Amino acid sequence: MRFTVLIPARLASTRLPNKPLADIAGLPMVVRVAQRVASGLPAGTRVVVAGDSPEILQACRQHGVEAVLTRQDHPSGSDRLAEACDLLALSDDGLVVNVQGDEPLIDPALVSAVAELLVQRPEASMSTAAHPIHEVADFANPNVVKVVLDARDLALYFSRAPIAWWRDGFTDGIQSLPSPAPLRHIGLYGYRVGFLRQFPKLSQAPIEVTEALEQLRALWHGHRIAVHVTPHAPGAGVDTPEDLERVRRHFSR
């Protein structure tokens, strides 16, 4: 199986300015992400940063990480990925996995599993991952995206609401978890390159706008998303200065 890992990286961040270049034990964060992913993937797997500024490209190239310069005015991450596919001249039948540039603790095995799903499930245009939720607070948290699957582990729906919801759940409020355990969506995506080129051109879905979840556009237009269920939560990403300090302590050890 051959695939390309694309890591979108933008300097603009409301909570953590210049986040891709934040120092983590002597290396910029986006370089940490690229190196971690590459360390656990099959030889020859291409790992490319899709940056929006010359500063990101320079940082990557100083540390031997391949990078391409994309436009700064993309309305979404998928637009940036589609441009990167064109810049890299990837074929429509190729496979791409999108790893966020603020995930320095990402498990390379999870990246491979998401790519492998597209080989195993030819009916799926996309793939992603999820893990069981074990805390009531996470189930109720709208920042924790949930996913419900069918019998073939294809996504039926993604939501910020607590789903699947049991019939009598409103009686006492959210004080316990349904059984089987609900699934938390992990923001790691695999794409067929041909579909990725089409995706930004698809009209926005009403449910996408309501939930503020871009992956619902694919479902609304009839595309299938295969989901790899892993038993464990991945390492947390970096969204705040507190997250950055936690990750710095991890690498310093």
Q: What is the CATH number of the domain that holds 121?
A: 3.90.550.10
Instruction: Note the Cα 205 to chain centre separation in Å.
Output: 20
What is the rounded CA–CA span in Å between residue 85 and residue 73? 17
Which among 85, 72, 4 has a CA at the least distance from the CA of 38?
4
The verdict on residue 20 lying in a domain is yes
Q: Mind listing the pLDDT tens digit for each residue in 71-88?
A: 988 888 888 999 999 999
The verdict on residue 159 lying in a domain is no
Question: What is the domain extent for residue 87?
Answer: 4-130+184-252
The verdict on residue 41 lying in a domain is yes
Map residue 206 onto helix, strand or coil.
Answer: helix
Q: Mind listing the pLDDT tens digit for each residue in 100-120?
A: 999 999 999 999 999 999 999
% of the chain surpassing 70 pLDDT = 98
The verdict on residue 241 lying in a domain is yes
The verdict on residue 207 lying in a domain is yes
Query: How many structural domains compose the chain?
Result: 1
Task: Let me know: does 115 contact 23? Beta carbons within 8 Å.
Answer: no
> Whole-model pTM?
0.92
To which residue do tokens 């299938």 refer?
A: 224
The verdict on residue 40 lying in a domain is yes
What is the rounded CA–CA span in Å between residue 48 and residue 67? 5
The verdict on residue 143 lying in a domain is no
